[in-house]
Structure 1
């Protein structure tokens, strides 16, 4: 909560950044957001970031605040100003400032971004694995939009933390949708299984990259719904997100998955993604 942030065309100290109480992001959660990982001083998965942000903005009818090229320049400048070699950049666009009316007004969007440092590559949880619990999916029906309205996910994450777990896997009609802040995968008979894209889940950028990498590696993939019981019986399980890359899941609802240790596919997919990041950051220590 310090350093330099970007707000509506200016780089300012975080303590000096101010947003109107009439911003529709504050009043309605009327906005979208994105997170880009930073590895080796490089913004990773930039193209997929732009695609998903474009789709989210279009879905809710908010126009781009800047050109794609300018947007990336802003985020890169922010990363450098905060001396982030590894971590991430968060950015969000809200509809803007207007009197409180439910219908969309014709106003200028507001854009904000901040950078943060975090160990992504040498995360000790990649070696130990994490525990997951299942929670009810109580969210709205347009989960494919990366909306800043995240109270459903916050409630589910809190429930998971109070149950002693690292993450919650949300369940709807007996099937796992996704994690509160991650994508869910199970592995069975040397096949990676994850839910297909629809309005029921967020189109994860790490998911997209990992499935492409798995296909290139010759790993079998099934994109289909899977039940909680299937997850209990999986050979292994893992999750992915911008700031975790890939983490093995060693237990679900207190039930040991596989042999209770991180599995080979979680390790493989994490290794492949980090290698991809090294290729995007040729001067970094990852290569």
Structure 2
């Protein structure tokens, strides 16, 4: 069953409940997280909750519940859904108030949905995916996981229109991240990824893949790189909560090496899957 939650009440996720004067709806004035559920257990939930708190603080938004209470809401929702493998989407907005740019003196709103997990085809993991590059036109605070995703939506649609899976964003000549992913490239057995700045989101999967790489004695460099460097790599992949570790086959129709997922990509994905299989 698809479960929803809004401001203290569990509902059917298909039920229409968002008021016209909801600031998330009118301004994108809020933050969010997505958590993957494996075998009815939320994966890396504490890390997602910590990032939610950090994002909310960055936009001066007071959470309506403590992190412990949010965790309880999520766990109860998973139980009610009876879903084994799912995605929990939850967001906090500045609340419901007549439309005005200034912060209203109202309580924040918390909403959540729990639905079956979106699946990436196993073929994509075996063969890799096509990507394109496009200009990064997002705002200057991409480290905040905010609801303002229109540039991401447009980039993702552009990739889809060009029969590609993901759009890799370029700013001042350098790769920042994907429209909904972080980007990695392997060259000469060294793993490269864009360093953390306000230009990219500190991905939860990104962070855990870097930890795994260090445990597996894979050299890691958090260093900015160009499209040309990415294409000239020995292997490359994307990370996110929903795709885990997804090999890149080509960028702008230029195949990376022989196009097949490389050994380090495979090793990191297998090791990542073991984290939630334990």
Q: Same fold (TM over 0.5)?
A: yes
Structure 2 CA distance for aligned equivalents of residues 228 and 3 of structure 1: 40
**2:132: which partner in 1?**
133
Structure 2 CA distance for aligned equivalents of residues 78 and 267 of structure 1: 33
**1:56: which partner in 2?**
55
Structure 2 CA distance for aligned equivalents of residues 204 and 168 of structure 1: 17
- Structure 1 residue ranges, 4+ long, deviating more than 3 angstroms after superposition: 119-124
Distance 1:46 1:4, change over 3 A: closer
Structure 1 CA distance for aligned equivalents of residues 269 and 83 of structure 2: 21
Is the Cα–Cα contact under 8 Å of residues 7 and 17 in structure 1 kept in the other structure? no
**1:218: which partner in 2?**
217
Taking structure 2 as the reference length, what is the TM-score of the superposition?
0.96
The more displaced of 190-199 and 64-73 is 64-73
The more displaced of 74-83 and 169-178 is 74-83
Structure 2 CA distance for aligned equivalents of residues 20 and 169 of structure 1: 35
Structure 1 CA distance for aligned equivalents of residues 209 and 248 of structure 2: 16
3-state SS, counterpart of residue 133 of structure 1: strand
**2:143: which partner in 1?**
144
Structure 2 CA distance for aligned equivalents of residues 16 and 121 of structure 1: 27
Is the Cα–Cα contact under 8 Å of residues 39 and 120 in structure 1 kept in the other structure? no
CA displacement, residues 145-197 of structure 1 (integer Å, 9 cap, x when unaligned) = 00011001001111111111000000011101000000001110001100010
What number of residue pairs does the alignment pair up? Answer: 278
**2:116: which partner in 1?**
117
**1:283: which partner in 2?**
none
Structure 1 CA distance for aligned equivalents of residues 46 and 214 of structure 2: 19
Structure 2 CA distance for aligned equivalents of residues 64 and 116 of structure 1: 23
3-state SS, counterpart of residue 127 of structure 1: helix
Is the Cα–Cα contact under 8 Å of residues 36 and 117 in structure 2 kept in the other structure? no
- Structure 2 matches for 1:180-195, cutoff 5 A? 180-195=179-194
Where does the alignment leave 5 or more consecutive residues of structure 2 unmatched?
none
3-state SS, counterpart of residue 105 of structure 2: coil
**1:201: which partner in 2?**
200
- Structure 2 matches for 1:21-60, cutoff 5 A? 21-60=20-59
Do structure 1's residue 276 and structure 2's residue 238 form an aligned pair? Answer: no
The more displaced of 200-209 and 103-112 is 103-112
Structure 2 CA distance for aligned equivalents of residues 101 and 167 of structure 1: 36
- Structure 2 matches for 1:71-110, cutoff 5 A? 71-110=70-109
Taking structure 1 as the reference length, what is the TM-score of the superposition?
0.93
